[in-house]
Amino acid sequence: MMLPFIPLRACAGITGFESPAAEYTELRLTLDQILIDDPAATYLGFVEGTSMKGVGIFPNDILVVSRAETVINGDVIVATLNGGFVCKIADIKQKRLVSSSPGCKDYQLSEGDEFIIEGVVTRSVRFHRPLKRGLF
């Protein structure tokens, strides 16, 4: 579905700003066009847990994950680890999965781990209100 896009620049905390209708420009963009670079190599996933709050990823956020990106040290990734999905910061040099929240432990990868990188998190979307209807 194509939604109208109104370029709007607003600073949080400012009590007044020019009406967006003053210089109304309607561009036809979809959220796919804004959020996804390579649709054939991208999937979405919901976040569970609080271990990535330090980088702004919270429970119930949606992650935009790209399989087309090459992982570089410090990227936020989604991976399967011993049969479960994880979202962590990749520490390639030390072979660790790093959490970004205090009290959440990092994970040192070892020889016996079943570990597959599923993609790089390129963006995340936050819900400021819960969905009124379920997605599934």
Distances (CA, A) of 86 to 78, 79, 99, 104, 136: 6, 5, 10, 13, 21
Q: At 106, is the pLDDT very low, low, confident or very high (cuts 50, 70, 90)? A: very high
pLDDT at position 15:
53
- pLDDT higher for 127 or 21? 127
Pairing between β-strand 62-66 and β-strand 42-46 as defined by DSSP bridges: antiparallel
Give the number of C-alpha atoms closer than 13 A to the C-alpha of residue 5, restricted to the C-beta side.
Answer: 11
Q: Which residues are tagged catalytic?
A: 51, 88
Q: Please give the DSSP secondary-structure letter assigned to residue 15.
A: S
% of the chain at pLDDT higher than 70: 78
Asked if 67 and 79 touch (Cβ cutoff 8 Å), the reply is: no
What is the per-residue DSSP string for 19-84?
-TTTT---EEE-HHHHH-S-GGGEEEEE--SSTTGGGT--TT-EEEEESSSPP-TT-EEEEEETTE
**If 0-12 CB within 10 Å is exposed, 13-18 middle and 19+ buried, where does residue 63 land?**
buried
State which amino acid sits at residue 57: I
- What does the pLDDT read at residue 30? 86
Percentage, residues of the chain above pLDDT 90: 66
Domain edges within the chain: 37-125
What is the rounded CA–CA span in Å between residue 105 and residue 107? 6
- CATH architecture for segment(s) 37-125: Ribbon (2.10)
pTM: 0.78
